[in-house]
Amino acid sequence: MKKMMLMYVVLILFSWNTVSAQNSKPAEYTSVAEVMRDEVLYRDFQIQGEYLDKENGTGFGANLVAEGNGQFRVIVFPNGLPGAGWNRYDEQILGKAVLNDAGDLIVTLEEIPIPLTLKKGEGKLSTVFEDNIYSFTKLERQSPTLGQSAPEGAIVLFADGKASDLFEQAVVNEEARTLWSDAWTKPFEKRPYLLHVEFMLSYMPTAKGQNRANSGVYIDERYECQILDSFGLDGKNNECGGFYQQAEPKVNGCFPPLQWQTYDIDYTPAVFDADGKKTANAILTVKHNGIVIHDAIKLAKETPGRKKEGSEANGLYLQGHGNKVQYRNIWLKYQ
């Protein structure tokens, strides 16, 4: 009897641990102040980012993507950074990096044995290869439309920590004066329109794929322009800037997490006749951080997750996907 009870307890513990592991969620940080509370976490956060060899004019750029506990993915771009010299189908060199006991970051590239090292406290990736000096300096790009004021005649949906009455669901982060994801508005009166949205990805170094700062901007509550921490990824249709299952961005314009980013979206709705038959597809042009990632693309149908295509006008949905993506400075102007 005691043996059976012991086996039962063991089974319960095993079952609980299995469920617990399945339900465990990677840590999510929504501000630099949060990250700074952990010395190791902040160390990796400071290293992660975009690097460019500006001093020597080689045109090489690099992304260092934190994966937790001193581990990084590395992508080297021979023609500059994505959207600033490097294009989608240009060559790229992949690698890994790890912090050693001295605090130096040692980079190992897959195809070219270049001994790149980021010396502790220097902030530069440096190497000498075939008598050429490469010195990558960290930089932080900024979208040219970041902080852009709503033009005359525009409808301000969210600004200065306040959501307009057009929002039906809106939870404000009072400390940061931002809007949390999982928010939506009432239907808009007119279409087409230009929509401006600013967003910030959470920092989730140990998360993978679709679990890494996932949200989305649903235009007309039908067409999702994906939001995801896709920094250093290829830019697929399910990554930042993609329209799920329909269109991938021309280039991955995603900045690292905890930097403010922008979408500027021109939207023309699909056209339906009196019988409800569609006669023209929806057309969208999207700029991500000022980079044109979709140029007058036509979407054959809605993307999954919200509302079906139809002739009636809907509002804006900022998808809730279990992550704390933040938004600010949201406005639209009828065209």
Question: What tens-digit pLDDT sequence spans the chain (335 residues)?
Answer: 444 443 333 333 333 343 434 457 899 999 999 999 999 999 999 999 999 987 776 788 999 999 999 999 999 998 899 999 999 889 999 999 999 888 888 888 887 766 678 777 677 787 766 677 778 899 999 999 999 999 999 999 999 999 999 999 999 999 999 999 999 999 999 999 999 999 999 999 999 888 899 999 999 999 999 999 999 999 999 999 999 999 999 999 999 999 999 999 999 999 999 999 999 999 999 999 999 999 999 999 999 999 999 999 999 999 998 999 999 999 999 99
pLDDT score at 6: 39
Spell out the residues 6+ positions from residue 255 whose beta carbon is closer than 8 angstroms to its own. 50, 141, 143, 231, 261, 289
Which whole-number Å values give the CA distances from 262 to 155, 159, 326, 331, in the listed order? 17, 14, 12, 12
**CA angle 64–67–73, rounded 5-degree value:** 40
- Give dist(CA 171, CA 182) in Å, integer: 8
**CA angle 246–250–255, rounded 5-degree value:** 105
List 179's β-bridge partners, or say none.
172, 327
pLDDT score at 17: 43
Distance of CA 227 to the CA centre of its chain: 5
The pair of structure tokens assigned to 47 is 């290293």
- Give dist(CA 304, CA 313) in Å, integer: 18
pLDDT score at 153: 96
3-class DSSP assignment, residue 71: strand
pLDDT score at 111: 74
Cis peptide before 192 (omega within 30 of 0): yes
pLDDT score at 57: 67
Which whole-number Å values give the CA distances from 304 to 216, 226, 244, 296, 309, in the listed order? 11, 11, 8, 21, 11
pLDDT in tens, 55-78: 776 788 999 999 999 999 999 998
CB burial string 194-214: b at 16+ within 10 A, e below: bbbbbbbbbbbbebeeebbbb
For the chain, domains (ranges, CATH) are: 32-139 (2.40.128), 155-334 (2.60.120.560)
Find the distance separating the first CA and the last CA of the chain, reported in whole Å. Answer: 77
pLDDT score at 179: 98
pLDDT score at 128: 66
Q: Hunting for tokens 């976490």 — which residue is that?
A: 41
pTM for the whole structure: 0.90
Report the half-sphere exposure of 102 (CA within 13 A, side-chain side). 8
Spell out the residues 6+ positions from residue 321 whose beta carbon is closer than 8 angstroms to its own. 181, 214, 215, 216
